[in-house]
């Protein structure tokens, strides 16, 4: 049976690939897509999501924009996605009709109207919408199957020496999500920095020879230059679809069970996901896991297969 997910995103080049993987993989049933202010302001992440969904033919999935800013702090744009939040491609005019509900309500209603423990939340932006949904309808905490999020890291930061962007932008929301008694898997920078869009990956996508493949290459070309200029990477890490891949096939992303606390008061460590790896301090009922390894080859096989499927569908 396909795994039901809600994708809460802030496109964002890698969020766009997460959308394509989630819809293009036959083992995933994409129940809803919501957007949040993150990589760019909400208006832009929403426009980008609708453009990517149109480009990829994702037209039958309920869609709604959610929160425009973090719970308490000011938002900040990520520097690697350009002015639009999705520079490097021209988006088609949107054919997506927003659902009409607020994103937070779409998340709640979708969970409440499905079987208990059947829906996985996959947030790939700041965790504002998820925290708001938990506060508005706390029953979702026991109804959700699990949360598999892209964010944080055990040993790595990118928005500070020790904090990752999605967590640091709204650390209070992240703390709410990590602290609740549901299953949370943190797919962080330790593994997503291995999901590199190398020349070989791009060549395989080019060979698909579809408009969607060209679109993805446009995304990668911009992302490569931005990641090179901003963070010194040779090839860009395509973070967000790694969380989707973990849901599709858990064996692709290895994890360790460990308590994870989000730093909210540190002078130099705000937004750090402090991961307790000392065996004696890991309780038997620990509800959080941190990703530690990635099978990058199988990850890219999944992504390229999804681009291929949706690209061919486009052409029909």
Interface ranges with ligand BDR (CB under 6 A): 12, 14-15, 39, 78, 80, 124-125, 150, 158, 164-166, 239-240
Contact assessment for residue 21 and residue 306, using Cβ atoms and an 8 Å cutoff: yes
Which of ligand BDR, Ca ion, none lies near 165, with the C-beta cut-off 5 to 8 A by kind? ligand BDR
Least distance from C-beta 115 to ligand BDR, angstroms?
29
Which of Ca ion, ligand BDR, none lies near 45, with the C-beta cut-off 5 to 8 A by kind? none
Q: Which of 228, 239, 281, 287 is catalytic?
A: 239
Contact assessment for residue 124 and residue 238, using Cβ atoms and an 8 Å cutoff: no
Residue 239 annotated in active site: yes
Which of ligand BDR, Ca ion, none lies near 78, with the C-beta cut-off 5 to 8 A by kind? ligand BDR
Least distance from C-beta 268 to ligand BDR, angstroms?
18
Between the two ends of the chain, the Cα-to-Cα distance in Å is: 26
Contact assessment for residue 246 and residue 291, using Cβ atoms and an 8 Å cutoff: yes
Which of ligand BDR, Ca ion, none lies near 128, with the C-beta cut-off 5 to 8 A by kind? none
Report the interface residues with Ca ion, using CB under 5 A.
10, 12, 15, 124-125, 240
The residue among 164 and 308 lying less far from ligand BDR, judged by its C-beta, is: 164
The residue among 282 and 296 lying less far from ligand BDR, judged by its C-beta, is: 296
The residue among 8 and 105 lying less far from ligand BDR, judged by its C-beta, is: 8
The residue among 39 and 101 lying less far from ligand BDR, judged by its C-beta, is: 39
Which residues have a catalytic role annotated?
239
């Amino acid at each position: 049976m396909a795994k039901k997910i809600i994708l809460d995103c802030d496109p964002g080049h890698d969020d766009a690939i997460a959308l394509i993987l989630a819809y293009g993989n036959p083992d995933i049933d994409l129940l809803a897509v919501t957007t949040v202010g993150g990589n760019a302001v909400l208006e832009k992440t929403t426009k980008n999501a609708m453009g990517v969904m149109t480009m990829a033919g994702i037209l039958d999935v309920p869609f709604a924009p959610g929160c425009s800013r973090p719970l308490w702090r000011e938002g900040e744009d990520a520097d690697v996605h350009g002015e639009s939040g999705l520079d490097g491609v021209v988006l088609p005019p949107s054919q997506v009709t927003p659902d009409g509900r607020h994103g937070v309500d779409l998340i709640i209603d979708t969970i409440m109207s499905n079987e208990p423990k059947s829906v996985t939340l996959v947030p790939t932006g700041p965790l504002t919408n998820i925290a708001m949904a938990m506060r508005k309808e706390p029953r979702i905490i026991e109804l959700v199957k699990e949360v598999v999020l892209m964010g944080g890291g055990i040993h790595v930061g990118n928005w500070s020496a020790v904090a990752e962007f999605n967590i640091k932008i709204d650390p209070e929301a992240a703390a709410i999500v990590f602290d609740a008694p549901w299953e949370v898997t943190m797919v962080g920078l330790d593994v997503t920095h291995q999901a590199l869009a190398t020349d070989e990956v791009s060549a395989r996508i080019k060979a698909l020879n579809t408009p969607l493949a060209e679109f993805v290459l446009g995304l990668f070309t911009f992302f490569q230059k931005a990641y090179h200029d901003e963070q010194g990477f040779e090839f860009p890490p395509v973070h967000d679809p790694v969380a989707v891949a973990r849901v599709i096939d858990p064996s692709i992303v290895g994890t360790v069970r460990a308590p994870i606390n989000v730093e909210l008061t540190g002078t130099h460590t705000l937004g750090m996901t402090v991961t307790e790896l000392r065996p004696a301090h890991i309780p038997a009922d620990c509800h959080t896991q941190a990703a530690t390894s990635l099978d990058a080859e199988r990850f890219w096989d999944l992504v390229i297969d999804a681009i291929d499927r949706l690209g061919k569908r486009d052409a029909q």
